[in-house]
Amino acid sequence: MGMFSAGRGLVGLVLAGLLWLSAGSALGASEASSAPDPGRGLLTELAEADYNGKKAVIDTIVASGDERSRRWLESLADGKLQRLKDSGDFVIVLRNRGREWPVVDALTFEDAGEVSRRALDRIRINNALRGYLDSSLALFDLRVDDPQARLVAARDLIGEVDESSVEPIARLLAEESDSDVVTTLELALAIQRLDQGDVEAVEVLAGNLDSRARAALSQASRSDDPTLAAAASEALTSIEQVLKINRAAETLYFGLSLGSVLVLAAIGLAITFGVMGVINMAHGELIMLGAYTTWAMQQVLPGQPGLALLLSIPAGFLVAALAGVAIERSVIQFLKGRPLETLLATFGVSLILQQLVRTVISPLNRTVVTPEWMSGSLMVNDALSLTLNRLYVLGFALLVFAALMLVMRRTRLGLEVRAVTQNRAMARAMGIRATRVDILTFALGSGVAGLAGVALSQLTNVGPNLGQNYIIDSFMVVVFGGVGNLWGTLVAGLSLGVINQVLEPWAGAVLAKILVLVFIILFIQKRPRGLFPQKGRAAEG
């Protein structure tokens, strides 16, 4: 096979390689059986070169047109292309955990059994090489049929285009039918032209919100060429203006998202503390139990994180509700009307639950997998993207809130709860079994805490300390919103979230938290019953 000179650059080589691939794959196969496999030579070069040398070898591999080259480059990028220390044979590792790793032969892709990790030598790469590999692979992918895959490939090329790849990309661009791919490729090319000092490229980039376009423009605005610098600065100013609006929208989203977490954590407490008047310091641990239920579900259903997560919603509710009932029956019912003792006793329960998890499961955090459909973000435009996991949690919080409102307003349980809350003696006189209502209310509040845990497992650590991080915030939200008022909890949670996120960029995370606390203290001084105080005689009791 003719070797192309490396000087022609990466992309020329890719294209040539692709031609070879389509024309002579059968030829390659017959050659491999008689002569020694050229792949082995290529991989040996790859293994022995230093980081810079590897780039040239990657070019050679691409140019060789070997149909295995794509898998080689992919497994190299994943760090799974390795070499057996004694025989010097190359393998691709399928699973790299534990003592023995299953591998396939890198030349034949046939199963090669399990190999001890001691016997393997990884072919090292670093970030720079990984980027180079990504753009090499992207050029392969620009030719596939799926427009979505082409778009992903085109995005990988933004900021990675060099002189040698301009021409082939331009050629692919001329054949491209999908408009998104066209725009992305044009952007990628324009950034390269701008780097070369082309003033006209500024026009293409003007108004583009992509951060790499902005980076290229601000680099150009520092250029020695006054026309270029002026044009670039002008384009930057107009972009900045659009960005400001986007940033405001982003901050609002951040605030609502943080707020929804607060609402979720606090809403169970709004029932137990707000409606029943029980100060439950173990509320955070009930949240933790919900999160651990998600983890346990994922252990039971390996490989199906999405399904496990959905099933965790009822399971988490049940587990936390049962734990709540146990706490109510064993501790709280004996301390009715003694808030200080309740506080101390439930604090003890919270410590016991934490240590129980540490001893029984592990003091280490557990991995909860985020399902595919919850990872990444929803792109509104190039500058504004909403992270999906938080978007789901926001929606989930609103759903839980709506469901809870329905229960309290539309069901018999809700009616009885409200009756017992307003006047216990009178409710009992009317034939309501107050004890049963107490248990059910506490179970409901605890179950909702479990739901919060399921949601939080997607945002933060699942570990024994999970609950502690949310207990103070939860009480803060309930007190601020007005004890005994679910609407108050919703409004208080969301507004505290937004206030916090608005303050954070200029005050810093530590100070923002302090300022929010100071604000609440002042507010409670002025209005001790919170945002939405309960009115009427019930409030006096």
Contacts with other proteins, residue ranges (CB under 8 A): 78-79, 96-99, 117-118, 121-122, 124-128, 130-131, 134, 211-212, 214-219, 222, 247, 250-251, 254, 257-258, 261, 355, 358, 363-367, 369-370, 375-377, 385, 387-390, 459-465, 468-469, 500-501, 504-505, 508-510, 513
Q: How far is the CB of 213 from other proteins (least distance, A)?
A: 9
Residue ranges of the alpha helices (H) in 66-178?
Answer: 69-77, 127-141, 147-157, 163-175
Nearer to other proteins, 117 or 418 (CB): 117
Residue 462 and residue 295: Cα distance in Å, rounded?
8
Residue 240 and residue 218: Cα distance in Å, rounded?
11
CA torsion 137-141-142-145 (nearest 10°) is 180
Residue ranges of the alpha helices (H) in 423-485?
Answer: 424-429, 434-456, 468-481
Nearer to other proteins, 171 or 222 (CB): 222
Nearer to other proteins, 485 or 500 (CB): 500
Nearer to other proteins, 284 or 414 (CB): 284
Residue with tokens 């009930």: 286
Q: How far is the CB of 504 from other proteins (least distance, A)?
A: 5
Helix axes 10-34, 163-175, angle to 10 degrees: 90
Beta bridge partners of 81: 92
* C-beta separation of 453 from 290 below 8 A: yes
Q: How far is the CB of 399 from other proteins (least distance, A)?
A: 21
Residue 215 phi, psi dihedral angles, 5° rounding: -60, -40
DSSP assigned state of 126: -
Angle at 343 between CA 341 and CA 344, to 5 degrees: 65
Which of 347, 321, 316, 363 lies closest to 464, judged by CA?
363
Q: How far is the CB of 118 from other proteins (least distance, A)?
A: 5
Residues with Cβ within 8 Å of residue 62, at least 6 apart in sequence: 10, 13, 14, 17, 69, 73, 136
Nearer to other proteins, 1 or 300 (CB): 300
DSSP assigned state of 367: P
Q: How far is the CB of 120 from other proteins (least distance, A)?
A: 8
Nearer to other proteins, 100 or 167 (CB): 100
Q: How far is the CB of 62 from other proteins (least distance, A)?
A: 19
Nearer to other proteins, 96 or 422 (CB): 96
Residue 288 and residue 223: Cα distance in Å, rounded?
55
How distant, in Å, are the alpha carbons of 283, 366, 459 from that of 389? 24, 18, 7
Nearer to other proteins, 406 or 509 (CB): 509
Residue 355 and residue 359: Cα distance in Å, rounded?
6
Q: How far is the CB of 208 from other proteins (least distance, A)?
A: 12
Q: How far is the CB of 413 from other proteins (least distance, A)?
A: 33
Q: How far is the CB of 276 from other proteins (least distance, A)?
A: 28
Nearer to other proteins, 180 or 250 (CB): 250
